[in-house]
Amino acid sequence: MNAYHKIVPLPIAPGQGELPRRTWWRAPETAHGVCMRANARLRPALARAQDQPWPMLAAVCRAASAALLLHPRLNFYTFWGRLRWAGLPPKVCAFLENADTSCTGVVIQAAHEMSQGRVIELLRAGRGQDEAPPSLMARLWPEADYVLRRLSGVYPAQYVRHNAPLFVSMLWLAGVDDLCYTPAHSMALYPGMPVDGLMPLTLCYNHQLANARPVGRLLRTIADLLE
C-alpha cells in the first residue's frame, strides 16, 4: 500500500457522496506534496481567545489573505504543471465540518480588508450550504465526466471560479497533513490548536508551484501577522 491510500478522505462537499473520492482524490490526481511547519506566538488579544475556534479560524483566514497579497508570486493555481493566476484581491477557502461529516468550503475574498467579526459572519453563513448538485453524468460516470472536463479545459475554469489558491482547515482529522491530503491545485494551511498562546502551522503545497524558499516566506509572513 503506497502513501496515497493510507487515508481515505471524507467527502469534501455535501450531497456529492463518493464523487470526490472517485475523481480528484484518486491517486493519479493527488500531488506529490511538500509540508512546511512554523509556530506563531499569538498576540495577546488572540491568545485570550485561543479556545474559541471561530475567532481563531477568522484570524488565520485574514492573515493568509494578507500574506497572499504580499507574496503574489504564490497567488496561483497549479494544473498539471501549468500555473494559473488567481487574481486580486486574493481569496482563501475555509473548510468547515458539517453534521453529516461532510465539509463545506467557504471562499472569502479580501478577508484581510474585513473586520474579524465580518469574517466570522461569512464563515457561519456559509457553513452547511449545499453546493450545486453534480450533473447526471457526473453521478453515473464520475471518472469519465472528470476526464472530459479536464480534456476540454472546463475543469480548471470551474475550479478557479469555486475555489481559492489557499485552503484553511481546522478539522483535526488524523493525518490531515499527510501526502494524500495535499491538494493537487491549491495550497493548504492546517493551523493547530494553540497551547499557551503558541499556534503550530502546517502549510502543504504542490512542488510544481514553487520551491521551498518563497513558500517558507509566505508561511513566516502568516505567522508574523498572527503575532
Q: pLDDT for 43-71, tens place per residue? A: 999 999 888 889 999 999 999 999 999 99
Burial track 57-76 (b if 16+ CB lie within 10 A, e otherwise): bbbbbbbbbbbbbbbeebbb
Does residue 11 register a pLDDT over 50?
no
The residue to which cell 483535526 is assigned: 172
195 pLDDT higher than 50: yes
pLDDT at 28: 53
Instruction: Please work out, in degrees rounded to the nearest 5, the angle formed at the alpha carbon of residue 81 by the alpha carbons of 79 and 82.
Output: 60
User: Residue 89, Cβ neighbours under 10 Å: how many?
Assistant: 13
DSSP per-residue codes, 77-100: EEETTEEEE--SS-EEEEEEE-TT
* pTM for the whole structure: 0.82
> Is CATH 3.30.559.10 the classification given to domain 9-131+154-226?
yes
Task: Check residue 218 and give its pLDDT.
Answer: 97
Q: Which of 180, 184, 201 is nearest to 192 (CA)?
A: 201
Residue 128 has a pLDDT of: 52
- Cell numbers given for 130: 449545499
Q: What is the pLDDT of residues 150-175, one digit of tens each?
A: 888 888 898 898 889 999 987 655 55
Which candidate, 220, 209, 191, places its Cα nearest to that of 67? 220
pLDDT at 68: 98
pLDDT at 206: 82
Write out pLDDT tens, residues 30-40.
555 678 999 99
Question: Cell numbers of 100, please?
Answer: 453529516
Instruction: Tell me the β-bridge partners of 93.
Output: 107, 167
